[in-house]
Amino acid sequence: MSNLPSEPEFEQAYKELVSTLENSSLFQKNPEYRKALAVCSIPERIIQFRVVWEDDKGQVQVNRGYRVQFNSALGPYKGGLRFHPTVNLSVLKFLGFEQIFKNALTGLNMGGGKGGADFDPKGKSDNEIRKFCCAFMSELGKHIGADTDVPAGDIGVSGREIGWLFGQYKKQTKLWEGVLTGKGGSWGGSLIRPEATGYGLVYYVEHMINYASGGKESFAGKRVAVSGSGNVAQYAALKVIELGGTVLSLSDSKGSIIATTESGIDAEMIEAVAKIKVDRKQLADVAHTSEFSGKVRYIDGARPWLQVGRVDVALPSATQNEVSQEEAEGLIKAGCKFIAEGSNMGCTQEAIDVFEAHRKSNKGSDAVWYAPGKAANAGGVAVSGLEMAQNSARISWTAEEVDSKLKDIMRNCFQNGLETAKTYLTPAEGEFPSLVAGSNIAGFSKVAAAMKDQGDWW
């Protein structure tokens, strides 16, 4: 990659995958997979385009739009659209690269892709956002389709934006098809899609806790630190509460709220956070209201990890690189035993190294156990895949049916990573298997084998 412009986020994701493959017996057992890695690390296609739209003052604005169609060996490209000023090609390549293997771990027929624009929805009117969505889809719509590429929402793209994007796609193609997921429930969306990433994250960690404790423990009584305050964080927190845990924190780009009572952040407070996030407001706007007063403290400019005191479980659910080496060490000192990423690449490589070193040097319940986002947060794209299946069959499943399928998928994600780690790394007696290595190897191996069968490498 030395002849390319610097792409730090993509390079981090690539090196994280490669390091675990190299430190396993995968290439000794399958030396030809090195060629698969070289092929797989280059996107099949990158689409870049300008998005010209008119603001409420009648002034023309322009943004950069992207779609990285990374790998279609297992099915149509699948991955979200992100509208955020930090969006660039490096960020989208990292997200698309991770998406390939995350989608593989679900067991569903989905390839990997990602897209978006450097458009900032904050401070924009509904009319301006709608105009931008229509302009964006006017170009993106030429390159996607139900059996080609099926985007979904991501940061800055909620169900409302999906509706506007879908409407524009339908107008210009005259097709009503499952070209986007995260649609409205009355026109092709799946039940529990908004909840799926957060719910799936907690279901995954349930299996970690159950395995580590020999079936003796659950979320009941656990103190859980959560970062972020969007869909993933909200629904992860609600599921933790439902299962008997205590939520210690939520955060956004400006700061964190930290629970100051033993009951923690409750469901009513999470509902209040959800309402302000729809209006694109900050946690600081509600931290001192009557609903929160005396129950939380607001810390400006801080992430929650070093602020929550004793903690059992950490769920980074905001954005990439939100847990540093120092914060990883602080979490271990605070008693954290389980950390699983609701965000994509939520931990820096240095933080992962801290967690993995602690896992290897401590046995059983004394060790911290880390799960990567490509496995732990796969619930969102899994239910997107289930939405695609419902659209193809023109049927709708109940919330209970979808939730049951989601639980099965998250159990399989955990078991697949666990057993693959045992096969290719052989943990020492009493050592928890590496879920990051096992998940990387399992996802990569599945994609590599499909690519070979299809003649992409040989």
State the catalytic residues.
Answer: 114
Give DSSP secondary structure letters for 130-168: HHHHHHHHHHHTTS-BTTTEEEEE-TT--HHHHHHHHHH
The residue whose two tokens read 């279901």 is 203
321 is in an annotated binding site: no
Structure tokens at 79: 């991955």
174 is in an annotated binding site: no
410 closest CA partner among 433, 427, 385, 390 = 385
360 is in an annotated binding site: no
102 is in an annotated binding site: yes
* 17 three-class SS: helix
Torsion sign over Cα 95, 182, 439, 219: positive
Cα–Cα distance for residue pair 294/44, rounded to 1 Å: 53
Contacts of 285 (CB under 8 A, 6+ apart): 276
SS (H, E, C) 303-361: CCCCCCCCCCEEECCCCCCCECHHHHHHHHHCCCCEEECCCCCCECHHHHHHHHHHHHH
41 is in an annotated binding site: no
231 is in an annotated binding site: yes
* 251 three-class SS: strand
Q: Give the orientation angle of helix 8-22 with respect to helix 349-361, to 10 degrees.
A: 20
131 is in an annotated binding site: no
Largest CA distance in the chain: 68
Residue 209 · residue 338 · CB < 8 Å: yes
What residues form the annotated binding site? 78, 99, 102, 153, 197, 231, 384
What residues form the annotated binding site for substrate? 78, 99, 102, 153, 384
